[in-house]
Structure 1
Amino acid sequence: MSIAVRDVREHELDSVLALNNAAGPAILPLDSTRLRRFYANAEYFRVAERDGGLVGFLVGFGSDGDHDSSNFRWFREHLDRFFYIDRIVVASRRRGGGVGRAFYADVQSYAELRYPVLACEVFTEHDSDPARLFHGSFGFTEVGQHVMPATDQAQGVRASMLTKELCSYDWVREHYGEALPEASWLPQPRQQDRHSATGPGA
């Protein structure tokens, strides 16, 4: 059956957390508090649904977003304006089935209307060659490396910092500036649930 990519719903956060923490060493672990921060603050937080179940998710932040990742800060220090993919997770039983490519097509369609560069990182450890090949096939190139500091959950892990120029951005800005026209097919920013971040530990 087809893959449906859509905004996450609050009642799905437990399932998202389970997907993340079952993904293996290539994905940083999450706890419910941090996931709630993502839910409250991420500009892009979408899930993939197939055969009636969640099979993955992707979280992203614009360069002006409220995000405390050291990798995000690294990109802020090196780029003026960008869209940052914090993480993409695909359920192990669905890897190789097109879910990751569906996510990247969707997030690029969103980002290229608003940002000139798409940014992400891949850890250089934990058999990263498949992830590097995947990103290379989408046109990402390495622009540096960053060792995550002790404030992160995976301190000392080296990350390959990747970017992809979004060729549509200049044309969109030249013709529409910041005021995109209304069209049903245009991907829209999600409506962050700010209320969810006001509870304990948010």
Structure 2
Amino acid sequence: MSIVVRDVREHELDSVLALNNAAGPAILPLDAARLRHFYEHAEYFRVAERDGTIAGFLIGVGSGNDHDSSNFRWFRERYPDFFYIDRIVVASRRRGGGVGRAFYADAQSYAEMRYPQMACEVFLDGTNDPVLLFHGSFGFREVGQHVMAETGTRAAMLMKPLCSYAWVRETYGDALPNQPWIAQPRIAHGSLPPRTGTCP
């Protein structure tokens, strides 16, 4: 069956929470209040559906968001304009089946019309080589390391330039065509945070 990437629905938050907290040490745990905050404020919060069930989710925010993650702040102190992937989780039974690549393709198609680069981190706990390899094969490169004060976890800080961004900005500016596949994924919960920075 095909993979469908779509916006999360409110009644799915309990399933998303369980998926997150079953993901193991590579993903920070969440509680219901934190997940609700993401649902109400994250610029991008989508699930992957396969065979009628949720196979994973991805949460992302732009650099203008008031996000309290220390990893997000690390990027914002160094880069003026980026799309930050806070977390991507794929159900264990679905790993290796293309769900992660489907998410990154979808997130990139959204981000490259709005941001010059994508940012994320991978925890360096000695067992994450496959995750680092996955990101490297998708064009991410390490730009530094950061130890999270709240957990003591060291993370590789990764960035990927989005080559289409400059052309989109030069051609359309902020007036993107009114097409369903270009629309903001999540508008229902109020206005999104303002953009910052300029195109390179």
Q: Shorter-normalised TM-score: what interval?
A: over 0.9
Query: Structure 1 residue 156 and structure 2 residue 127: aligned?
Result: no
Unaligned runs of 5+ in 1: 195-202
> What secondary structure sits across from 1:34 in the alignment?
helix
Corresponding residue of 1:54: 54
Residue identity opposite 2:72 in structure 1: F
Contact 1:21/1:30 (8 A) holds in 2:
yes
Residue identity opposite 2:30 in structure 1: L
Residue identity opposite 1:55 in structure 2: A
Contact 1:25/1:126 (8 A) holds in 2:
no
Give the whole-Å Cα distance in 2 for the aligned partners of 1:36 and 1:192.
14
Change (3 A) 1:77 1:192: farther
Corresponding residue of 2:119: 119
Give the whole-Å Cα distance in 2 for the aligned partners of 1:158 and 1:174.
38
- Cα RMSD for the two superposed structures: 1.0
- Normalised by the size of structure 1, how large is the TM-score? 0.92
Contact 2:85/2:119 (8 A) holds in 1:
yes
Contact 2:7/2:185 (8 A) holds in 1:
no
Change (3 A) 1:109 1:156: same
Residue identity opposite 1:130 in structure 2: P
> What secondary structure sits across from 1:4 in the alignment?
strand
Q: How does 1:7-86 map to 2 (within 5 A)?
A: 7-86=7-86
Q: How does 1:97-112 map to 2 (within 5 A)?
A: 97-112=97-112
Give the whole-Å Cα distance in 2 for the aligned partners of 1:119 and 1:192.
25
Residue identity opposite 1:176 in structure 2: Y
- Normalised by the size of structure 2, how large is the TM-score? 0.93
> What secondary structure sits across from 2:35 in the alignment?
helix
Corresponding residue of 1:182: 178
Contact 1:83/1:117 (8 A) holds in 2:
yes
> What secondary structure sits across from 1:78 in the alignment?
coil
Contact 2:116/2:162 (8 A) holds in 1:
yes
Q: CA deviation at 1:126?
A: 4.8
Runs of 4 or more, structure 1, over 3 Å off, are none
Change (3 A) 1:170 1:160: same
Corresponding residue of 1:141: 141
Residue identity opposite 2:96 in structure 1: G
Contact 2:39/2:45 (8 A) holds in 1:
yes
Contact 1:39/1:192 (8 A) holds in 2:
no
CA offset digits 1:158-177 (Å, max 9, x no partner) = 00000000000000000111
| Number of positions where the alignment pairs a residue of Structure 1 with one of Structure 2 | 190
> What secondary structure sits across from 1:109 in the alignment?
helix
> What secondary structure sits across from 1:145 in the alignment?
strand
Give the whole-Å Cα distance in 2 for the aligned partners of 1:35 and 1:11.
12
Q: CA deviation at 1:185?
A: 2.7
Q: CA deviation at 1:45?
A: 0.1
Unaligned runs of 5+ in 2: 191-200
CA offset digits 1:141-196 (Å, max 9, x no partner) = 0000000013xxxx1000000000000000000011111011233242312535xx
Report percent identity of matched pairs: 75
Corresponding residue of 1:167: 163
